[in-house]
Copies of this chain bind each other. A is one copy, B any other.
Amino acid sequence: MKYPLTPDVKPEFCTTGTFMRLPSQKHDAKLAIVGMPFDTAASFRVGARFAPQAIRQSSMTLFPYHPIHNVYPFEQMNAIDIGDIPVIPHNIHRSYELMKESIHELMSKGVIPIGLGGDHSVTLASLRAAAKVYGPVAMIHFDSHTDTWDTYYEEKYWHGSPFIRAHEEGLLQADKVFQIGIRGTLNHSGDLQASLDLGYRLITTGELSNRGFEDVLKEIRKTIGNTPCFLTFDIDFVDPSFAPGTGTPEIGGFSSYDTLKMIRSLTEFNFIGYDVVEVLPSYDPSQITSLLAATLVHEFASLAALGAKEDN
């Protein structure tokens, strides 16, 4: 049977519990969906542990073919959905370890993971795995927040700190990190400087809007080139109107149309992993946030399929 199951084979409402009804294992898989249902590190609204499930459900209306990139990403990549990593709520360190191990196992076999968060701290686990396989990596980070705050009541590990921790642990090539879409009020006037001090390039919503993404993209391409790169997408990059179901929404973001255009232009990078995080189903009554996230997963998979083609 060809995968993902298409509506030809089984009506869309017949679930199997996996993303687009992918198989959970397959010989020679090059792409894997990975549920990362950890949300203990969130500081405000919690419940992103139910996001992987919601994103998979919303994936049921997606079709296999990407008409703009001209790929069947899941088929071409022999994609699988390995299910949810059994994280332990309220045990941050053990959960990170479990996630790191799963991601590492995939990456070490050359499988590209697409993580379904979870709060944004799950990306730290992925970066630990990535660094073990690839050394320090580049990162393109879509978000309304930099997530480079230090401690939260003396806690070092929370969803506001993954990218300061990643830096300290040497997981990133700091000069090849782009944080895109930053906006909103801040705790202190120096908050954004924290990112700059780490060596990251920070592009606010204002700058992005003024320059246009094409111009920004040139800068990113020139800087990152072919360096192994992780793409992390916090759903609150998008305006709350398009993504109401999230933990710390920030008004004044981009539309889903703008977002798709940006993501679709990210060809010719050497992405070694992706994730979409901070989807919160209990604030998403019409399920448009999880549909957006599911569509982004399809986009990421298409970028991966394009990359695989180029390699051949």
- A: residues with CB less than 8 A from B are 6-18, 35, 37, 39-47, 49-50, 52-53, 56-57, 60-68, 70, 72, 83-92, 94, 152-153, 155, 157-158, 184-189, 191-192, 205-206, 209, 239-242, 244-245, 248-249, 251-257, 259-260, 282-288, 291-292, 295, 298
User: Chain B residues with Cβ under 8 A from A91's Cβ?
Assistant: 153, 155
29 examples of A-B residue contacts, CB within 8 angstroms: A11-B43, A11-B88, A14-B84, A17-B17, A39-B46, A40-B89, A46-B46, A46-B49, A47-B282, A61-B249, A63-B186, A64-B187, A66-B185, A67-B189, A67-B192, A70-B189, A88-B153, A90-B158, A94-B153, A185-B295, A240-B242, A245-B286, A251-B260, A251-B288, A251-B291, A252-B257, A252-B259, A252-B260, A252-B295
SS class, residues of chain A in contact with chain B: loop
User: Chain B residues with Cβ under 8 A from A255's Cβ?
Assistant: 239, 241, 255
Complex A-B, nearest 10 residue pairs according to Cβ-Cβ distance, in ascending order = A17-B17, A244-B286, A14-B84, A63-B185, A46-B46, A282-B282, A240-B288, A65-B186, A251-B256, A88-B153
Supposing A17-B18, A70-B189, A242-B251 touch, asked if A257 and B43 sit within 8 A by C-beta, the answer is: no
User: Chain B residues with Cβ under 8 A from A15's Cβ?
Assistant: 17, 35, 52-53, 56, 83-84
| CA distance in complex: A57, B192 (Å) | 26
A277 → chain B closest CB, angstroms: 16
Supposing A57-B53, A155-B88 touch, asked if A241 and B253 sit within 8 A by C-beta, the answer is: no
A286 lies within 8 A of B284 (CB): yes
User: Chain B residues with Cβ under 8 A from A63's Cβ?
Assistant: 184-187
Between A7, A52, A253, A298, the greatest number of chain B beta carbons within 10 A of the residue's beta carbon is seen for A7
Known: A47-B282, A64-B185, A252-B259. 18 other contacts (CB 8 A): A7-B152, A9-B86, A13-B84, A14-B35, A15-B83, A16-B83, A17-B17, A40-B90, A44-B61, A61-B249, A67-B189, A70-B189, A90-B90, A241-B256, A249-B291, A251-B256, A251-B257, A252-B257
Supposing A41-B90, A189-B70, A255-B241 touch, asked if A13 and B50 sit within 8 A by C-beta, the answer is: yes
User: Chain B residues with Cβ under 8 A from A282's Cβ?
Assistant: 47, 282-283
User: Chain B residues with Cβ under 8 A from A62's Cβ?
Assistant: 185
A187 → chain B closest CB, angstroms: 5
A86 lies within 8 A of B10 (CB): yes
Name the residue on B nearest A18 (C-beta): B17
| CA distance in complex: A292, B244 (Å) | 12
| CA distance in complex: A205, B255 (Å) | 14
User: Chain B residues with Cβ under 8 A from A155's Cβ?
Assistant: 88, 90-91
User: Chain B residues with Cβ under 8 A from A254's Cβ?
Assistant: 257
A236 → chain B closest CB, angstroms: 11
